[in-house]
Amino acid sequence: MSDKIVSLENFEEEYLEQLLDFQLPDDQIKFSALPGELLNTSKGQYKIVITYENNAAGFFLLNSTRRVKDYSENPKAMLLTALTIDSQYQGKGIAKYGMLSLPKFVKENFPLCNEIILVVNCENIPAQSLYKKTGFNDSNKRFYGPLGKQVLMSLPIKA
């Protein structure tokens, strides 16, 4: 697989039906949300689609809302939330290539952003591994969320 097959796209209506059909295994649904639950966004929330061969294979939100301040004092940081890959596309490296594409996508679409942060549940080892492989660093800060302890991770976006 190459990064030419996987790309990050701003949400467009053409992806809506595919996003509404997303499925997640039971052991993953507790750590994330399905795209259909997140399509009504507010100001400062940006819907991002991970495409694979021009199909919606993944989804996440980038946030520049006040929620960022819960985790970072950096006014140029954005918060990545709710990364999901539809079950039919899992195991193909799509999340990895999507996250590897993130710095370039952010530079092009959010030029003032210099850092992406996220929190991931301590029990979600596969997600932590993915983020580490794609350049995120463990900040050594922990937060408590609805499902327990969360790891704060950070990805610098270089100019």
pLDDT of residue 40: 72
The class that CATH gives domain 6-113 is: alpha beta
Report the interhelical angle of 94-109 vs 125-133 (nearest 10°).
50
pLDDT of residue 108: 97
pLDDT of residue 34: 56
| DSSP secondary structure letters along 5-56 | TEEEEE--GGGHHHHHT----HHHHTTS--GGGS-S--TTEEEEEEEETTEE
Give me the percent of the chain exceeding a pLDDT of 70.
87
Taking 60 as the threshold, does the pLDDT of residue 105 lie above it?
yes
pLDDT of residue 57: 95
Q: Could you read off the pLDDT of 66-76 as tens digits, one per residue?
A: 999 999 999 99
Taking 70 as the threshold, does the pLDDT of residue 25 lie above it?
no
Where do the structural domains in the chain lie, given as residue ranges? 6-113
**Quick one: average pLDDT of 27-53?**
78
Q: Which helix (H) or strand (E) holds 130?
A: helix 125-133
Q: Mean pLDDT over all residues of the chain?
A: 89
Confidence of residue 41 (pLDDT cuts 50, 70, 90): confident
Distance (Å, rounded) from C-alpha 11 to C-alpha 47?
5
pLDDT of residue 77: 98
pLDDT of residue 22: 75
More confident residue, 146 or 30: 146
